[in-house]
C-alpha cells in the first residue's frame, strides 16, 4: 500500500472528531497521504444523538458522509472497514475482510463504547447512546411503547411508559430532559394527554448530585429543572440488575420498565486492549504529551480511546473539543516530525463545560475559572460552542440551526415522529388484571 513516492503515509483508524480533525489538517498538504478507515461510511456527531433518540432530529442530520467530507482532498482516501487487529510495531492494521493497511504513521482514534460495570443484564437489555444506530434504536423503542400503550391501555398498569435513565452525568441529564420534553410536547399531541400523563421518567445515579463534575449551583439548577419537568431523581442509588421488563435498584426497589437508557459511563473502544499498547484508566491507551505512545514514536492515540495528559498530569475529559483539537495537533506533529523537527506537547484550549437540560435550560461553566452561567444565556453558549464543533468537521449546519431555533423559540408545539425504526415488543401474557409486575410501591 505505498505509492512509491517519498510522501508520508498516515493511516488513521476512526472517522470521529479526532480522526477527522487529524485528516482535515493533513488534507491538501504536500508530501503526505492519508488513509482514513472507519466501520461506517459516515461521521457521527455524538452531542446531538439524544435529539435523534427523542425525534427532534433525523438520523441523517447527525451522520455525515465521510467521503463527501474529503471529496475535494485528493490526498485523503476514505476506506470502509472494521479494523480487527493492530500491529503497532509495523504501523499496520487489518480489517475484518483481510485487508492490511500499513503506513509511516499510525493514528488510533477509534473512540469509546458504553461501560456497563458488569451490571447483570445491562448490556443485553438497556439502550446505550453512543452511536447513531443506538439513537435510532432507542427512538424506535420509545415510539413503540407509546404505540403499544395506545393500542392496549391495560399495559399502562404494567409500567409500559416507565423510562429509567441510568447516570446523572451530561448524557443522562440531556436525555432525561429531552425525553420529558418529548412526552409533554409531542406525545401528548400524537397520542392523548391521558396517555402522556402516565409516562414516568426516573433518573438513577449512585452519586449525590446531578451533573456531578459541575459546580454545586449547577447541580441544584439541573435537578430543579428536571424535577419541574416531571423527572424523578433517585440519587445515591445504583442499578443492581436490568431485566427485559424491569430494573432492580441497589436499595431493592424494582421498577417495571421496557426502556432503560444507559448513560452510566464509557470505556475505550475494544481496539485499545487488543493492540498491546500500554493502557490506563477506562482501558484507554496512555499517551505522552506529544500524543504519541511511549516506545512508538510514530503511533498516536487520540480522543476517547486515549488518556491524554492535561496540564496537571491528569487525563483530559472525553469531549468532542478535546478530540478535535488533539486530532489537529497530532497532524501538526506528524508534519513536524516528517520535516525532522521537534514534536510539541499538546495544549488543550479549555472553553469550559456545558450541558443542555431542556428547552431554554442549560448550564455552562466557562473558561479556566469556570464562570458559571445558567438558563437561556447558557443555552445560547451551548449552541455557539456546538456550532463551532460542527463546523470543525463539516459545513452543513441547516438541521442544527433549525433544531436550535425550534428549541429556543418554544412556539412550535410538536415535531412529526419518524416511526421507521420501531419493532415489536413481546409483552408476554397480559397480567394487568392482577395488578401486573410489582413496581416501587406505586401503581404507574
> Is 191 one of the binding residues for ligand FAD (CB under 6 A)?
no
- The 10 Å Cβ neighbour count of residue 365 is 22
Q: First-to-last CA distance in the chain?
A: 61
> Given the rule CB under 6 A, which of 23-31, 34-42, 329-337, 419-427 is the region that contacts ligand FAD?
34-42
**Separation of alpha carbons 298 and 356, rounded Å:** 38
Which residues within the stretch 88-117 sit at the binding site for ligand FAD (CB under 6 A)?
109-112
What is 348-414 written as a DSSP string?
Answer: ----EEEEEEETTEEEEEETTTTEEEEHHHHHHHHHHHHHHHHHHH-S--HHHHHHHHHHHSTT---
Identify which of 324, 331, 314 has the alpha carbon closest to the alpha carbon of residue 351: 324
Is residue 13 at the binding interface for ligand FAD, with CB under 6 A as the rule?
yes
Rg (CA), the chain: 23
Q: What is the DSSP string of 95-146?
A: ETTS-EEE-SEEEE---EEE--TT-TTHHHHEEE-SSHHHHHHHHHHHHHHH
* Cα dihedral 357/358/361/366 (nearest 10): 40
Report residue 377 as a C-alpha cell.
444565556
Q: Which of 77, 147, 174, 431 is catalytic?
A: 174
Residue 145 to residue 363: CA distance in whole angstroms: 31
Q: Which of 35, 119, 321, 422 binds ligand FAD (CB under 6 A)?
A: 321
**Stretch in the footprint of ligand FAD (CB under 6 A) among 138-146, 222-230, 318-326, 416-424:** 318-326
Span near ligand FAD by CB under 6 A; candidates 40-48, 70-78, 142-150, 276-284: 40-48
Q: Which of 304, 365, 415, 440 binds ligand FAD (CB under 6 A)?
A: 304
Contact 339, 359 (CB under 8 A): no
Angle between helix axes 17-26 and 320-338 (nearest 10 degrees) is: 30
Contact 291, 346 (CB under 8 A): yes
Q: From the list 7, 29, 39, 418, which residue makes contact with ligand FAD (rule: CB under 6 A)?
A: 39
**Of 40, 237, 250, 360, which one interacts with ligand FAD (CB under 6 A)?**
40
Nearest distance, CB of residue 9 and ligand FAD, angstroms: 18
356, 180 contact by CB (below 8 A) = no
Of 83 and 256, which has the nearer Cβ to ligand FAD?
83
Please report whether residue 14 would count as binding ligand FAD according to CB under 6 A: yes
If binding is defined by CB under 6 A, does position 353 make contact with ligand FAD? Answer: no
* Minimum CB–partner distance for residue 359 and ligand FAD (Å): 16
Nearer to ligand FAD, 17 or 163 (CB): 17
Interface with ligand FAD includes 323 (CB under 6 A)?
yes
Write each residue from 43 to 62 as x if it is in contact with ligand FAD (CB under 6 A), else as -, in one continuous string: -x-xx-xx------------
Asked if 119 and 240 touch (Cβ cutoff 8 Å), the reply is yes
Among 60, 67, 82, 405, binds ligand FAD (CB under 6 A): 82
Whole-Å CA distances, 214 to 180, 210, 241, 385: 22, 9, 28, 17
**429 in catalytic set:** no
Which listed residue (140, 167, 283, 303) binds ligand FAD by CB under 6 A? Answer: 303
Number of residues that bind ligand FAD (CB under 6 A): 35
> What are the CA-CA distances from residue 444 to residues 162, 176, 201, 408 (Å)?
8, 18, 11, 32
172 binds ligand FAD (CB under 6 A): no
15 binds ligand FAD (CB under 6 A): yes
Residue with smaller CB distance to ligand FAD, 164 or 256: 164
Site string for ligand FAD, 371-410 (x = CB under 6 A): ----------------------------------------
Q: Within 268-287, which residues bind ligand FAD (CB under 6 A)?
A: 269, 271
Non-local (6+) Cβ contacts of 348 within 8 A are 308, 310, 316, 321, 322, 325, 326
318 touching ligand FAD, by CB under 6 A: yes
Residues that bind ligand FAD (CB under 6 A): 13-19, 37-40, 44, 46-47, 49-50, 82-83, 109-112, 129-130, 171, 269, 271, 303-305, 318-321, 323
Active site (catalytic) residues: 174
Amino acid at each position: 500500500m505505498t505509492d512509491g513516492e517519498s510522501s508520508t503515509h498516515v493511516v488513521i483508524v476512526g472517522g470521529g472528531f479526532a480522526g477527522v480533525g487529524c485528516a482535515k489538517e493533513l488534507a491538501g498538504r504536500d508530501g503526505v497521504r492519508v488513509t482514513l478507515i472507519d466501520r461506517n461510511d459516515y461521521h457521527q456527531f455524538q452531542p446531538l444523538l439524544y435529539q435523534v433518540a427523542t425525534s427532534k432530529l433525523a438520523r441523517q442530520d447527525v451522520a455525515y458522509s465521510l467521503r463527501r467530507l474529503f471529496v475535494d482532498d485528493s490526498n485523503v482516501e476514505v476506506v470502509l472497514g472494521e479494523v480487527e487487529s493492530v500491529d503497532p510495531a509495523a504501523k499496520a492494521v487489518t480489517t475484518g475482510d483481510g485487508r492490511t493497511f500499513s503506513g509511516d504513521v499510525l493514528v488510533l482514534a477509534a473512540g469509546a463504547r458504553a461501560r456497563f460495570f458488569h451490571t447483570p443484564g445491562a448490556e443485553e437489555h438497556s439502550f446505550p447512546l453512543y452511536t447513531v444506530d443506538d439513537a435510532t434504536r432507542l427512538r424506535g423503542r420509545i415510539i413503540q411503547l407509546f404505540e403499544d400503550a395506545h393500542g392496549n391501555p391495560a399495559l399502562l398498569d404494567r409500567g409500559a411508559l416507565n423510562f429509567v435513565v441510568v447516570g446523572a452525568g451530561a448524557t443522562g441529564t440531556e436525555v432525561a430532559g429531552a425525553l420529558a420534553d418529548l412526552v409533554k410536547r409531542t406525545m401528548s399531541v400524537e397520542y392523548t394527554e391521558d396517555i402522556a400523563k402516565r409516562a414516568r421518567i426516573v433518573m438513577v445515579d449512585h452519586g449525590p448530585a446531578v451533573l456531578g463534575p459541575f459546580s454545586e449551583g449547577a447541580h441544584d439548577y439541573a435537578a430543579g429543572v428536571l424535577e419541574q419537568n416531571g423527572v424523578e431523581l433517585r440519587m445515591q442509588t445504583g442499578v443492581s440488575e436490568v431485566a427485559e421488563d424491569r430494573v432492580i435498584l441497589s436499595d431493592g426497589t424494582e421498577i417495571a420498565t421496557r426502556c432503560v437508557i444507559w448513560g452510566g459511563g464509557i470505556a475505550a473502544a475494544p481496539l485499545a486492549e487488543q493492540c498491546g499498547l500500554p493502557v490506563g484508566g477506562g482501558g484507554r491507551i496512555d499517551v505522552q504529551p506529544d500524543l504519541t505512545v511511549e516506545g512508538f514514536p510514530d503511533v498516536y492515540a487520540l480522543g476517547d480511546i486515549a488518556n491524554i495528559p492535561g496540564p496537571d498530569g491528569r487525563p483530559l475529559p472525553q469531549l468532542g473539543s478535546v478530540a478535535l483539537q488533539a486530532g489537529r495537533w497530532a497532524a501538526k506533529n506528524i508534519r513536524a516530525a516528517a520535516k525532522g523537527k521537534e514534536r510539541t506537547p499538546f495544549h488543550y484550549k479549555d472553553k469550559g463545560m456545558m450541558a443542555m437540560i431542556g428547552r431554554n435550560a442549560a448550564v455552562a461553566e466557562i473558561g479556566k475559572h469556570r464562570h458559571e452561567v445558567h438558563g437561556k444565556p447558557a443555552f445560547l453558549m451551548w449552541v455557539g460552542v456546538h456550532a463551532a464543533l460542527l463546523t470543525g468537521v463539516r459545513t452543513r449546519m441547516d438541521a442544527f440551526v433549525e433544531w436550535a431555533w425550534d428549541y429556543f423559540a418554544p412556539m412550535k408545539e410538536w415535531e412529526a415522529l419518524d416511526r421507521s425504526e420501531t419493532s415489536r415488543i413481546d409483552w408476554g401474557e397480559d397480567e394487568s388484571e392482577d395488578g401486573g409486575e410489582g413496581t416501587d410501591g406505586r401503581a404507574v
